[in-house]
Structure 1
Amino acid sequence: MALKATVFRAQVQISDMDRHYYESHTLTLARHPSETDERMMVRLLAFALHADPQLTFTKGLSADDEPDLWQRSLGGEIERWIEVGQPDERRLRKASGRAREVTVITYAGRAADLWWQHNSAALERLRNLRIIDLSSDESQALSRLAERSMDLQCTIDGGEVWIGNGRETVGLIPRLRQV
């Protein structure tokens, strides 16, 4: 018998002073059985960093031809393709041809550094690819906020991010590896 995804619900109030975006979003996140709280919360962070009414979570780990999040135009074109983790270079090359903008958010510390060393030469050629890195400490702190039902506040200002649940606030400084 196959294991089912665990459903998490999040009410996220986003105050993005860098983009002048101030909205509240009700999100449903399906955590694949092989996904950790850390990865799921990085997906939620990815949503907050790129929040838009058209941005949606996809099947993610359950689908080979979809990113973790994407934003489609009203005409169906892929405007934004967002991957979390350390995707294969060929996958990113293909995504770069399909989407106007591709973003990868890495978070595994030393493993992310090794992934970048191995793939940077090929990835630097992709002009519509942006890579954001979180430190291992930041992503692990973010995972402590994971609950089946979450009420989160996210503030983004000057490239820094604060996410809190009323009891604990996590500060993050995402680093741009490739713009």
Structure 2
Amino acid sequence: MAAGAVVHTFTGSLADVDRGVYDELSLRVARHPSETDAYMLTRVLAYCLEHTDGIAFSEGLSSTDEPAIIVRDATGLLRAWVEIGAPDAERLHHGSKQAERTVVYTHRDPAKVLALWAGKRIHRAEYLALYSFDPGFIDAAVAVLERRNDITVSVTEGQLYLDLNGVTLSSAVHEHRVG
């Protein structure tokens, strides 16, 4: 953990009806001093939306050769490379060469993120997906964020329902294709 990192805990449950994934959550998330609350919360939501066996937060901002979230199978093979925010095209190119699946979750304007990648070389760009949330959703969730958080994440028919510290919010999970 980086010096000055603030640790947030998230305890609760995940019910992703769309994928048939149900689990109890107990996450300790270190927020690097240069990381915004919006970025960290997007990272937590991406973890929930990608939740599967072998998922883990990487070393984060202190590790430049790994994404924010990785998924490995039982043999250690990298299955998914999950980025947050607006990573550069070179990073996505590298990630999509390393893993079977590469995705990005953003708390930013998806049109601006896609514009950053336009015309750039990204390996298997046609398989890369960018996911975003309704405008204002992340900001509303950040407003109720605490160091210790009770969280319930439910997903059904592409709609994300988030109960964070007693406040219920919802957003569609928008998928944007790169290639």
Distance (whole Å) between structure 1 residues aligned to residue 27 and residue 36 of structure 2: 18
Cα 1:107–1:124, aligned 2, differ >3 Å: closer, same or farther? farther
> Aligned residue for 1:137?
136
Q: How far 1:74 sits from its partner (Å)? A: 1.4
Which runs of structure 2 are paired with 1:1-179 in the superposition (5 Å)? 3-109=3-109, 112-122=110-120, 123=122, 125-165=124-164, 167-178=166-177
The TM-score, its normalising length taken from structure 2, stands at: 0.90
Aligned-residue CA RMSD (Å): 1.9
Aligned residue identity for 2:111: D
Aligned residue identity for 2:171: L
Aligned residue identity for 1:18: D
Task: Name the SS of the counterpart of 2:125 in structure 1.
Answer: coil
Q: How far 1:124 sits from its partner (Å)? A: 8.7
Number of paired residues?
Answer: 176
Q: How far 1:165 sits from its partner (Å)? A: 2.9
Gaps of 5+ in 1: none
Residue identity (%): 28
Distance (whole Å) between structure 2 residues aligned to residue 12 and residue 121 of structure 1: 42
Gaps of 5+ in 2: none
Q: How far 1:142 sits from its partner (Å)? A: 2.1
After TM superposition, the runs of 4+ consecutive aligned structure 1 residues lying more than 6 A away are none
> Contact between 1:124 and 1:178, CA under 8 Å: does it hold in 2?
no
The TM-score, its normalising length taken from structure 1, stands at: 0.90
